[in-house]
Structure 1
Amino acid sequence: MYKFFKRLIIFALIAVIAACAFKTPILKAIYPIGYIDEIDENSQRFNVDKYLVMGVISAESGFDHQAQSHKGAMGAMQVKEDTAEWCNEHFALNLDVSNLYNPSVNITVGCSYLEYLIDMFDGDAYVALAAYNAGLGNVKNWLKDKNYSSDGKTLDKIPFKETDEYVKKVLKRRDIYKKLYG
């Protein structure tokens, strides 16, 4: 019986050491990155944290540039055509926004819009992500409502469960990507 427990303890120690040694490669397999050139270029161009962009892409499409939502959002950052057209005009991007499945076009538009939202909400990524997901109009209404915002600038609570979960997911993934690839 003593030999059994001794072997069990040795096996457990080996398993712990192996898990620690392979933790990063395993996590990198679970949290892969793609489109790194597009992310680097556009996060710098639009002054958006590249790990936040990775978190958005991971949550929105799992880095699938062919992704399409039931609401008509397309590509890696799940951009809608009307948003792309607005960004193209507002930021003078000069892009063919009819091809939102092109990662370069999609990430350029997504980063430009994310910068716009972050700037609008004074650098508050939490509020900006809520607007990215639920829409700017909804977030502006929530900020006016004392049930959701005590100061009119930050959100104390997000009333849409899907949006609340989305924001938390993106921020968690941002932190994971920064830890793994930063």
Structure 2
Amino acid sequence: MRVKGRGWIFLLLLAVVAALLAKPTARLVYPFPYRSSILHYAGQNGLDPLLVLAVVRTESKFYPLAESLTGARGLMQIMPETARWVAGRLREEFDPERLFEPEYNLRLGTWYLAYLIREFRGSLPAALAAYNGGSQNVEDWLGRGVWDGRSASLDKIPFPETREFVRQVLRDYRIYRFLYPEPGR
């Protein structure tokens, strides 16, 4: 395309405006609700708050009263049995109804996610697979060589739901890092 005269200035200006509007528009689709709580509990557990945000978006779409068919509850979709175990590790009282409270859910969920990342020696794909599909299953897959724990081989995860969960969280995490390069602001 050949631009005559000062038309190139208009096209350049249009490109700049489009770039400036892209992030604010994308932030409507990828919002950052519960910001202060996510920042607090992610920081307390040594997690990137944008990773927590990606998990919450994938698990509950930010709906605190979400409950899965299997009984997972709240923002981070924690199973009551898992939450009971985490609460015990934190020496905190357990109440399954409180899993619908954002603060309580984020406190337990971020601790559990950080625990899984440590358990799987920093492998984020393996930790996310364990978060969704269970630690024992992931340990079994890794031990038997069914899956190597890498994001490059997600197709090898035997559970379709877990495979898609890991893919979606990793995708959303990349998007959130682009949209919110300074999450504390």
Tell whether the structures are fold-level matches, with TM greater than 0.5: yes
The reply on whether 1:125 has 2:103 as its aligned counterpart is no
Deviations 1:98-129 (A, max 9, x none): 31110000011110110110000111111000
Structure 2 counterpart of 1:87, one-letter code: V
1:154-169 aligned at under 5 Å gives the runs 154-155=149-150, 156=153, 157-169=156-168
Give, in angstroms, the shift of residue 21 of structure 1: 2.7
Q: 5+ residue gaps in structure 2?
A: none
The sequence identity of aligned pairs, in percent, is 36
Q: Which residue does 1:179 correspond to in 2? A: 178
Give, in angstroms, the shift of residue 139 of structure 1: 0.5
Q: Which residue does 2:139 correspond to in 1? A: 140
Contact 1:55–1:170 at 8 Å: present in 2 too? yes
The reply on whether 1:92 has 2:91 as its aligned counterpart is yes
1:115–1:93 Cα change, 3 Å: farther
Give, in angstroms, the shift of residue 19 of structure 1: 3.0
Contact 1:95–1:105 at 8 Å: present in 2 too? no
Deviations 1:17-73 (A, max 9, x none): 543231011100010111111111111111111111000000001111111111111
Secondary structure of 1:99's counterpart equals: helix
Contact 1:66–1:101 at 8 Å: present in 2 too? yes
Q: Which residue does 1:3 correspond to in 2? A: none
Root-mean-square deviation (CA, aligned residues, Å) is 2.1
Q: 5+ residue gaps in structure 1?
A: 1-5
Give, in angstroms, the shift of residue 94 of structure 1: 4.0
Structure 2 counterpart of 1:26, one-letter code: T
Contact 1:33–1:63 at 8 Å: present in 2 too? no
Corresponding residue pairs, total: 171
Contact 2:74–2:105 at 8 Å: present in 1 too? yes
In structure 1, distance between residues paired with 2:161 and 2:14: 38
